[in-house]
A and B are shown apart, each in its own frame.
Chain A
Amino acid sequence: MKEFILIFRHENVNGKVSPEQMQTWMKQQMDWVGTIAAQNKFVGGTGLLFDNAKVVDHKKLITNGPFGDIKETLGGYVIVRAESAEEAAEFAKGTPILQGEGNTVEVREIVKH
């Protein structure tokens, strides 16, 4: 069985989504993780803290960021076990993150030695 990383990108929700809606999404995300875990195909996942984020460029220059104009941010990721990228993409369809317009889930196979 291969492993795939599902990378969540979401648009800035500030001011657009109500707290109640966020809580609903969270509940749905938990249920979604639950259905994958129930098939013993959930490896792990986490959120990525945006505070104090840094960007290091090729000159080794460290800047704070990425802040400012970017529309979507990397919110977190989940790693699942699946037979194929198609199966992993099917899993991805179930996440409530996709209810937000402009949000995406990128599915990438993790290389194993």
Chain B
Amino acid sequence: MKNNDIIPNLFKTEYSKLVAVLAKTFGINHIEVAEDLVSETFVLALDTWPYQGVPVNPTAWLYTVAKNKVKNHLNRDSIFKDKIIERIKLSEQQLNEFSIDLTDKNIADSQLQMLFTICHPSISSEAQISLALRILCGFGLDEIANAFLSNKETIHKRLQRAKSKLKSENIEIEMPDDIELSARLNTVLHTIYLLFSEGYYSESHESIIRKELCVEALNLGYFLINNPSTNTHSTNALMSLMCFQSSRLEARQQKNDTTILYENQNKELWDQELIEKGFHYLQQASKWKIGSKYYLEASIAYWYTVDLESLDKWGNILKLYDALVTIDYSPIIALNRIFALSKVQGNLIALQEAEKMNLKNNHFYFVLLAELYKSIDSNRAKDYLQKAYTLCKTKTEKEMLRKQIEKL
């Protein structure tokens, strides 16, 4: 028996690469053929490696097998062969000598093009995220169902529908042209950020799944960073934001999976490496001399990593929120802005602004009011926490609020 160590995530990583290259070669209409051939490649490894040992170069082994699988499939299925001949404009003779291009460059290009194809505006963001998890992150149906708190059948149908749509729209697996690139890149970034948020903010997931989703979002971001045409201000800003937020992932979670609020986090659990990465991407993003929503959010996230309560810190955060509410208003951003305002100008001024907002159905609104009233009128603070408790939906949040009410 030979060396039996398998590189961690080998199949997962290679799945994404192989499917991207094969699907790019065959066209979106034959994406299932690509997926099947890659699966079969792993099945052969599964049926061989345990008895003969892991090959010296497992990746090369997988690529050789995948190339042969493609050849065999072309010979076996003449209809498929004819379509491919038509597609890649080779004679039958040339096709016999044709081999799938598994060079690093073609792999990287295909993965990036696949990311753009998957994030095509013709399908919903939900479907985009599911497809990205399946095809680019190598998740199984079970894992995607888990990530969406859904079941396998629903996810299966969602994936099927999304693929049919891409086929019926005849989407080519390619980069958008220069005119479209910027708008399409925004969709891709938005999808990546949604995937990240699914992991970072959703309170209802096991911590391990949440972490995985964040890591996958970062990995997709690297595809964009590594290509000059997509290594833009917004891409760097989003990467920075995700790195800063990920750095607090450990500190945010308790063993029993409840969320620990920023103020109570053990700062030693903050991941310094990710903070440094976040800072690096923030600097990169600033080279473009333009602003964006992600840039403002990343800058705010940066200030949150500064473990020092100063007027300077909160003054900067407030300025950034001031800018953010003007370009991307949401109640949550507005509430966060008021929190920053209270740190700079005091609770009374913040309360005046908060009471104008009157967000009667938002439990975060009452959490904020309670926080601001804590030092002024603890009975009122308690009332507001009760209101928040009634309004909020998840068990973890209710538990957190219950503890706060008890403390008052």
Contacts and interface: CB of A to CB of B under 8 A. Distances in A.
Given A22-B42, A22-B46, 6 more contacts: A13-B39, A18-B139, A26-B50, A46-B48, A46-B51, A50-B44
B267 to A, nearest CB: 33
A8 B15 CA distance: 24
A37 B40 CA distance: 27
Contact of A50 (B9, B40, B51, B138): B40
B49 interface: yes
A76 interface: yes
Interface string B218-255: 00000000000000000000000000000000000000
A33 B50 contact: yes
Given A26-B6, A67-B76, A21 B140 contact: yes
Contacts of B72: 51-52
Given A46-B48, A52-B72, A17 B40 contact: no
Interface residues of A, number: 36
30 contacts: A8-B47, A10-B43, A14-B39, A15-B39, A18-B12, A18-B138, A18-B142, A18-B143, A19-B11, A19-B39, A19-B42, A19-B138, A20-B9, A20-B11, A22-B46, A23-B9, A23-B10, A25-B46, A30-B50, A33-B1, A37-B1, A45-B50, A45-B51, A46-B47, A47-B44, A47-B48, A49-B44, A51-B69, A51-B72, A75-B43
B35 A22 contact: no
A93 interface: no
B118 interface: no
B188 interface: no
Contacts of A76: 47-48, 51
Interface of B: 1, 4, 6, 9-12, 14-15, 32, 35-36, 39-40, 42-52, 68-69, 72, 76, 138-143
Given A46-B51, A51-B72, A67-B76, A20 B46 contact: no
Contacts of B35: 14-15
B83 to A, nearest CB: 18
Given A16-B141, A23-B10, A23-B12, A48 B47 contact: yes
A30 B2 CA distance: 11
A42 to B, nearest CB: 9
A78 B105 CA distance: 40
Interface of A is mostly: mixed
Contacts, number: 99
Contacts of B47: 8, 46-48, 75-76
Contacts of B141: 15-16, 18
A64 B43 contact: no
A16 B140 contact: yes
Contacts of A25: 46
B402 to A, nearest CB: 38
Contacts of B4: 30, 34
Contacts of B1: 33-34, 37
Contacts of B9: 20, 23
A44 interface: yes
Contacts of A33: 1, 50-51
A34 B139 CA distance: 29
Contacts of A23: 6, 9-12, 42
Contacts of A22: 11, 42-43, 45-46
B124 to A, nearest CB: 21
B51 A26 contact: no
Given A19-B12, A23-B12, A51 B142 contact: no
Contacts of A14: 35-36, 39-40
Task: List the 9 closest pairs (A to B, CB-CB), nearest first.
Answer: A47-B47, A18-B140, A19-B11, A19-B15, A76-B47, A29-B50, A45-B51, A23-B11, A51-B72
Contacts of B76: 64, 67
Interface in A67-86: 67, 75-76, 78
Contacts of B44: 47, 49-50
